[in-house]
Amino acid sequence: MTLHELTIAEAGERLRAGEVSSSDLLEAALDRASLTEAQLHAYLTIDREGARETARRADADLADGIDHGPLHGVPVALKDNMCTRGVETTASSQILAGYIPPYDATVTRKLKEAGAVIVGKTNLDEFAMGSSTENSAYGTSYNPWDIGRVPGGSSGGSAAAVAIGSAFAALGSDTGGSIRQPASLTGVVGLKPTYGTVSRYGLIAFASSLDQIGPLSRSVQDAAFMLEAIWGHDPLDATSYAGEYPQPSAALDDGVSGMKVGVVKELAGEGYEPAVETAVSAMVDKLSDAGAAVVEVSLPTFDIALSAYYLIAPAEASANLARFDGVRYGHRGEGATTETLMARTRAEGFGPEVTRRVLLGTYALSAGYYDAFYGQAQKVRSAIQEDFSRAYESVDVLVSPTSPTVAFEAGARMDDPLAMYLSDICTIPSNLAGHPAISIPIGLDEQNLPIGFQVMAPALGETVMFQVAAAVETLAGFAERPVLEELAS
């Protein structure tokens, strides 16, 4: 197996055995990027020199007996909506072209402290609004399994990089499925942790009450390594969880025997591709065979979750994106008055999907409409939380497809926002509830496109969630890697 295909765990073993250096791992990832970027466009920025410097330091530290843990010397990528001091951060928006943050996001700082080597910043849908990475102002990313298709989104760049090997793992952000859906479409593991467990300080906000940072990786164990490096209470984030944290990596080998698994009735049927449904049912059967008690569970509010999400998220976004006014940083439009300067800055700086959501959100919060839209959506959100609570009285975890479909063709849904929004139908409820959920690749369809399996757990239920996810990974035995045909020779 070549270096760029290793998991973090495997790379760590070789690193500590002295067989490879961090610099070797980095060069393997950089070589991979050089070979594939022209086709995939996973990255917006690759910080070759910075990464090489960090890798050299990681090697020197290890030689001196200083070991920062599982991520020590491991090349990782960051979605470009997380601030990196001194490295351009744009959230894939024209409005932040050339913006260089003066500070590190908490996750950036934590990854650095864990000894990770930051390769670069990955592409996303502008301000994380989208499910295909086609809404990037800097060009679409493509799926390594079929470069005519999208890698999903909004963390499509991170997913593509991890799948193709130009990073060993990456961070994404998940507001309605933006980690799990692209993970599913690219055949990698994607995790959205419990809301509040990973600091949002330095994450360019989309919808503050839903946004959560999490890892994309090539194994469930790697996801646990990443999670345990980045989470924890952060005094800089007032919504950060201050209590005790679970220890998911300790439970990876515990299996599912005796576990109660609920299959969500509402996340199946019309709109779900047969190959996806078949693969998911097969995995459910395997879980049952492995000793889990499987039951079908109905969460009726899931049917209206998407509608509630598309009021709450744009409403928060309309305020979160108000700071991009051209006054202090980023793109500035021409204008003789402050009003025209701001209006032109925003008209020129925001792409069509961002504009659509800002308008939608502004409308939903307007006097006279607030109760009917935003207020109503908040009630639905509470109802979804109650539905989840009821379900977790009888099961330990809930399972479903991660995405109703496999990767779709580039451009296929760009003229139909509603079809695009439906990509997130399975993932949104966990965001509305603030619960953790993970996507694990379980197989390929007949077109050789990956299918993802979602495991959801109650708030702070990461341990049980990882326990099931690890079992799913083993039962699936998914070991395929994408091959870019042009590179096959």
CB of 461 to another protein, least distance (A): 21
**CA-wise closest residue to 280 among 162, 433, 441:** 441
Residue ranges in 155-194 that form contacts with another protein under rule CB under 8 A? none
Peptide bond into 154 cis (omega under 30): yes
The residue within the footprint of another protein, chosen from 201, 231, 302, 453 (CB under 8 A), is 201
Could you confirm whether 154 is annotated as catalytic?
yes
Task: By CB under 8 A, tell whether 316 contacts another protein.
Answer: yes
The residue within the footprint of another protein, chosen from 370, 389, 447, 486 (CB under 8 A), is 370
Residue closer to another protein, measured from CB, 103 or 245: 103
CB of 436 to another protein, least distance (A): 19
CA–CA distance, 15 with 320 (Å, rounded to integer):
42
Binding segment for another protein (CB under 8 A), chosen from 322-330, 380-388, 414-422, 426-434, is 322-330
CA distances from 142 to 8, 193, 304, 447 (A): 24, 26, 31, 16
Could you confirm whether 217 is annotated as catalytic?
no
Query: What one-letter code names the amino acid at 275?
Result: A
Kindly name the residue from 79, 110, 121, 192 that is annotated as catalytic: 79
Could you confirm whether 423 is annotated as catalytic?
no
CA–CA distance, 177 with 322 (Å, rounded to integer):
24
The residue within the footprint of another protein, chosen from 338, 382, 389, 448 (CB under 8 A), is 338
The residue within the footprint of another protein, chosen from 24, 304, 329, 332 (CB under 8 A), is 329
CB of 40 to another protein, least distance (A): 26
CB of 421 to another protein, least distance (A): 21
Kindly name the residue from 22, 93, 136, 154 that is annotated as catalytic: 154
The residue within the footprint of another protein, chosen from 300, 303, 323, 359 (CB under 8 A), is 323
CA–CA distance, 299 with 387 (Å, rounded to integer):
6
**CA-wise closest residue to 470 among 224, 209, 193, 281:** 224
Binding segment for another protein (CB under 8 A), chosen from 31-39, 97-105, 287-295, 400-408, is 97-105
Binding segment for another protein (CB under 8 A), chosen from 47-55, 359-367, 411-419, 453-461, is 359-367
Task: By CB under 8 A, tell whether 355 contacts another protein.
Answer: no
Residue closer to another protein, measured from CB, 72 or 381: 381
Task: By CB under 8 A, tell whether 459 contacts another protein.
Answer: no
CA–CA distance, 481 with 489 (Å, rounded to integer):
16
Residue closer to another protein, measured from CB, 87 or 342: 342
The whole-angstrom distance between residue 126's C-alpha and the CA centroid of its chain comes to 14
Q: For residues 211 and 312, is the Cβ–Cβ distance under 8 A?
A: no
Task: By CB under 8 A, tell whether 209 contacts another protein.
Answer: yes
Supply the DSSP symbol for 351. -
CA angle 132, 138, 140 (to 5 degrees): 30
Residue ranges in 104-143 that form contacts with another protein under rule CB under 8 A? 105
Task: By CB under 8 A, tell whether 367 contacts another protein.
Answer: yes
Can you list the alpha helix ranges (DSSP code H) found in 170-246? Answer: 180-186, 220-230
CB of 448 to another protein, least distance (A): 38
Instruction: Specify the length of the chain in residues.
Output: 489
CA distances from 455 to 106, 297, 321, 396, 428 (A): 27, 14, 32, 10, 13
CB within 8 Å of 77: residues ≥ 6 apart: 42, 43, 118, 119, 120, 121, 122, 157, 158, 161, 162, 166, 167, 169, 170, 171
Residue ranges in 230-259 that form contacts with another protein under rule CB under 8 A? 235-239
Task: By CB under 8 A, tell whether 86 contacts another protein.
Answer: no
CB of 108 to another protein, least distance (A): 10
Site string (374-403) toward another protein, x via CB under 8 A: x-----------------------------
Site string (44-83) toward another protein, x via CB under 8 A: -------------------------------------xxx
The strand order across the sheet containing 43-46 reads 43-46, 117-122, 75-79, 169-174, 212-217, 189-192, 437-444, 450-456, 397-401, 260-264, 293-297
CA–CA distance, 257 with 396 (Å, rounded to integer):
12
Binding segment for another protein (CB under 8 A), chosen from 98-106, 117-125, 405-413, 477-485, is 98-106
CA–CA distance, 214 with 159 (Å, rounded to integer):
12
Kindly name the residue from 178, 240, 403, 423 that is annotated as catalytic: 178
# chain residues binding another protein, by CB under 8 A: 46
The whole-angstrom distance between residue 35's C-alpha and the CA centroid of its chain comes to 24
Residue closer to another protein, measured from CB, 239 or 288: 239
Active-site residue set: 79, 154, 178
**Using CB under 8 A as the criterion, which residues of the chain lie in contact with another protein when the complex forms?**
81-83, 89, 91, 96, 99, 101-103, 105, 200-205, 207-209, 235-239, 315-316, 318-319, 321-325, 327-329, 338-339, 342, 362, 365-367, 370, 374
